[in-house]
Amino acid sequence: MRRSILFCVLAGVLVLLSCGAFAQPPVREQLVYSLTSFNGSTYSKSFAPQSEDTIYLIANTNNIVTPRKTIVYYWPITRRYMAGFSTLNEAVPGKLEIFQGGKVIATLEERKYVLYYPEGYWSEKTVMYLDAEADAKYDEYKKAMDEFNAKLKEYYEAMQKYREDLNRFFEEVRRRREAGETGPLNIPVPKEPSPPEFVNFYVSEPASGFVVNLPPGHYEMRIRLEDGTILEGSEKKLVVFTSRRKGGAGYEIIPGNRWTKRENCDDPSWIIHAVGKNELYFNPFTQEEYNELYHNKLQDPQNIGRIERWKWVHVDPVKDATLLFGRGKEVLKAVTRAPYFVKQIPGPELGYEIVDYDEDLKKRGYKPTFESYKVVLGPELPKVDYTIQTVASENQMPLPKSERTIRLLRKAYSMYLYPLAFLPLAVGAGIVITRRARIET
């Protein structure tokens, strides 16, 4: 009887939990701050809901803070508040007041801005332009896009004419061969037109916001409406910080067998472990060290972090350099930066392979997927430690703290690791059996 009651109670709890999991999260209209924050190398977009009382920004750089009324709801799966800007995105007229020590030190008005991506939308660097420069930069982008679209239209028309000429060419060849004509045919072969090159930079549409550029320190901010009153719920703390250390080099590593799973090796004491044949693509960066909590909160105010910890942040990619792969003091190979293309493999496996970017891919209109320094760790290499180091091309001097160790691991005795993994279970089972035997006797 008790078991039946307990089963019914558990079943009821599970039903209630499942209903709660599928229930719609409550939706509320809320004042939030939309943020476009400089993170050390580029700009990241996020928003600060009412649940977060502090906004974090990097010092002495332009950051955009924009108050908005929008729809906010809590998403239990990610444990985050989400904003429905596509449903409601209402501007809040007024001025942003920044004060420190109880005194107003700045009163800001909204300014126009754009984000310029010099190598396309996925550029590793981003530049912000303000006011008249923002309009000029966006006009430059629109003009480039209009010219590209005009060339693209001409290309499509040329392709249509090329197909027609090609059909006439084959028809003429067939007619002459059927007429008994032999030998080479003096017929010009139609030339396929080349597609226009896409615009190699990107500029976001002009937008307006408060440009916050402050020295390091702790501040507060609020919105003063046009009628002179303070907007309720607009008060936020503002932490403006800078890096603790600058200099040194960090690496982004792209494994050849899983190029979407990129990893970082930012500290010279870290060791890169590899097993079997590997193709590793290294991207060196200059880096700066930031407080972990501050930088995580900068990227998204709802992120977490530790105030006592520090993290390296990649700042500028190192492109004009040579990567030295060696063993001890011996340099085995000097690697230069090269473009690569990720090619999809047809078939049910849905795999891919990384190939060299060549002229054929360029003529077909493809762009490089990424550029990197490629190091091949073949099976013929002795299973010992190797090193990589980045050397500047202009003076052939190694970049500070750019040396890393690559350790090739042996697989010969890996089968002995499996019995060791089950050893604690075997010991535990032996103890349980021994105790039961003692109890029974």
Q: Where are the alpha helices (DSSP H) in 179-253?
A: none
Tokens 């985050």 map to which residue?
A: 80
Render pLDDT for 37-75 as a digit per residue (tens, 0 to 9): 999 999 999 999 999 999 999 999 999 999 999 999 999
Is 84 within 8 Å of 70 (Cβ atoms)? yes
Give the percent of the chain with pLDDT over 90.
65
Render pLDDT for 137-181 as a digit per residue (tens, 0 to 9): 999 999 999 999 999 999 999 999 999 999 999 998 888 888 888
pLDDT, mean over the chain: 88
Question: Nearest Cα to 43, choosing from 198, 199, 207?
Answer: 207
Tokens 């004491």 map to which residue?
A: 269
Topology at the third CATH level for domain 248-416: Coagulation Factor XIII; Chain A, domain 1 (2.70.50)
| Arithmetic mean of pLDDT, 118-124 | 85
Tokens 């085995």 map to which residue?
A: 332
Count of residues for the chain? Answer: 441
Please name every residue paired with 33 in a beta bridge, in sequence order, or none if there are none: 48, 67
Range of 182-186, 260-264, 415-419 with top mean pLDDT: 260-264
Render pLDDT for 84-115 as a digit per residue (tens, 0 to 9): 999 999 999 999 999 999 899 999 999 999 99
pLDDT at 414 over 80: no
- Distances from the Cα of 282 to the Cαs of 167, 322, 429, in angstroms? 48, 11, 47
Give the span between the Cα atoms of 427 and 405, in whole angstroms. Answer: 38
- Domain residue extents for the chain: 248-416
Is 140 within 8 Å of 131 (Cβ atoms)? no
Q: What is the pLDDT of residue 21?
A: 46
Question: Nearest Cα to 133, choosing from 161, 113, 108?
Answer: 113
Residue 380's contacts (CB-CB under 8 Å, 6 or more residues apart) are none
Q: What is the pLDDT of residue 141?
A: 97
Give the span between the Cα atoms of 273 and 269, in whole angstroms. Answer: 13
Give the span between the Cα atoms of 276 and 127, in whole angstroms. Answer: 42
Q: What is the pLDDT of residue 249?
A: 93
Is 52 within 8 Å of 326 (Cβ atoms)? no
Render pLDDT for 189-246 as a digit per residue (tens, 0 to 9): 899 898 888 899 999 999 999 999 999 999 999 999 999 999 999 999 999 999 999 8
Render pLDDT for 342-380 as a digit per residue (tens, 0 to 9): 988 776 655 788 999 998 888 787 888 899 999 999 888
